């Protein structure tokens, strides 16, 4: 093991003290207390329960279906989506993107260009009086040390795939860079945006539209206000989750980090409010949403061959998308009218209030 720097030693001491006091305290909470990135915290543990994985993003992702039962977790700034299941085999998507298609299961879109450091982590956690269990996890970070995706082994005995990752691991440290705050800029003027938006025949064409004009999603929503988008009050995200659960409306929840989009499809459970957080504790899935930190919500309509689809999009104060909601829909079928009425009701109630 390489000699520790004074900074690494200080991080390890703080980590050990935090885990001694609260054995199940999440690493991200410890990192926030230390004002460092979660990636830097885990990198300080290299050689002591953490190992770098010398695999390309696609190679690593191609092995994930062999990991057995896992809890998969993706976090945006204000939302955390956790699901239990088995990864599907990695599909296509090109050199910079991978697809794990499993509607109703672990359904992910992987942006490999953002994957900077992947590591294997071994945590010892208490269970009952004096007993402990080992929890293995695979975690992916971007160049700023932000966690992009995590998965935790759920099988009592790790599969051979976990053992193979352990053998491949090394203690080569990652090189992280400091993230810079977003720069505010005036809203760009894109006169042709409305016509190009109206011409879409598939919702996936929207990403190309943004790239062509150098737009962020929030900016496009602002430019199309009153045409294809409608600004809703920040509390609309919470209201819609409650109403969708009450109406037993099958939903698609999208939570995205810069390097992974995780999608949960199915009916919702009734939310539970705990402080600023709204929580959905469902069967094999959990959603945590910091509703009080949401600053902008939009109802967004995108044309397609089946009559168009409507989504609710929630953003934080920095303009990052934190949660996206659609009604469950099969390709080739029109969108559920109940979903459109539900979203239209949000605006109507705000106007009446």
**Distance separating alpha carbons of residues 120 and 47, to the nearest angstrom:** 11
Residues 6+ apart with CB under 8 A from 91: 98, 99, 100, 101
Structure confidence by residue, pLDDT tens digits, 290-301: 999 999 999 999
**Distance separating alpha carbons of residues 195 and 327, to the nearest angstrom:** 26
Residue with tokens 């001491």: 13
**Distance separating alpha carbons of residues 86 and 103, to the nearest angstrom:** 12
Structure confidence by residue, pLDDT tens digits, 109-140: 999 999 999 999 999 988 877 788 999 999 99
Q: How many CB atoms lie within 10 A of CB 61?
A: 24
- Residue-by-residue pLDDT tens, the chain, 353 positions: 457 889 999 999 999 999 999 988 999 999 999 999 999 999 999 999 999 999 999 999 999 999 999 999 999 999 999 999 999 999 987 778 999 999 999 999 999 999 999 999 999 988 877 788 999 999 999 999 999 999 999 998 989 999 999 999 999 999 999 988 888 899 999 999 999 999 999 998 999 999 999 999 999 999 999 999 999 999 999 999 999 999 999 999 999 999 999 999 999 999 999 999 999 999 999 999 999 999 999 999 999 999 999 999 999 999 999 999 999 998 889 999 999 999 998 864 454 44
The pLDDT score that the predictor gives to residue 349 is 46
pTM score of the predicted model: 0.94
Dig out the tokens for 2 from the structure: 């390489």
The pLDDT score that the predictor gives to residue 296 is 97
The pLDDT score that the predictor gives to residue 98 is 96
């Amino acid at each position: 093991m390489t000699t520790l720097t004074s900074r690494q030693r200080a991080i390890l001491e703080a980590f050990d003290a935090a885990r001694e006091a609260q054995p199940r305290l999440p690493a991200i909470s410890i990192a926030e207390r230390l004002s460092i990135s979660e990636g830097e915290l885990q990198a300080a543990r290299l050689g002591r329960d953490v190992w770098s994985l010398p695999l390309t993003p696609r190679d690593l992702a191609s092995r994930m279906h062999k990991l057995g039962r896992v809890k998969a977790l993706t976090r945006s700034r204000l939302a955390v989506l956790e699901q239990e299941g088995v990864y599907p085999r990695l599909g296509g998507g090109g050199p910079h993107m991978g697809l794990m298609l499993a509607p109703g299961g672990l359904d992910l879109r992987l942006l490999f260009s953002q994957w900077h450091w992947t590591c294997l982590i071994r945590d010892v956690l208490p269970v009952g009086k004096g007993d402990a269990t080992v929890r293995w996890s695979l975690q992916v970070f971007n160049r700023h040390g932000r966690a992009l995706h995590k998965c935790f082994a759920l099988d009592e005995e790790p599969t051979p795939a976990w053992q193979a990752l352990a053998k491949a691991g090394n203690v080569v440290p990652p090189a992280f860079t400091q993230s810079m705050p977003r720069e505010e800029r005036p809203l760009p003027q894109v006169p042709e945006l409305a016509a190009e938006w109206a011409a879409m025949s598939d919702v996936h064409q929207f990403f190309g539209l943004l790239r062509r004009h150098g737009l962020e999603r929030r900016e496009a929503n602002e430019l199309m206000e009153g045409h294809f988008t409608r600004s809703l009050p920040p509390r609309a995200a919470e209201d819609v989750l409650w109403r969708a659960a009450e109406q037993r409306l099958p939903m698609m929840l999208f939570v995205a980090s810069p390097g992974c989009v995780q999608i949960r499809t199915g009916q919702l459970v009734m939310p539970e409010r705990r402080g600023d957080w709204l929580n959905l504790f469902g069967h094999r899935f959990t959603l945590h949403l910091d509703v009080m930190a949401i600053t902008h919500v939009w109802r967004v309509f995108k044309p397609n061959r089946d009559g168009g689809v409507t989504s609710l999009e929630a953003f934080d104060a920095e303009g990052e998308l934190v949660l996206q909601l659609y009604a469950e829909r099969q390709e080739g079928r029109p969108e559920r009218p109940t979903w459109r009425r539900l979203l239209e009701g949000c605006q109507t109630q705000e106007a009446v209030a």
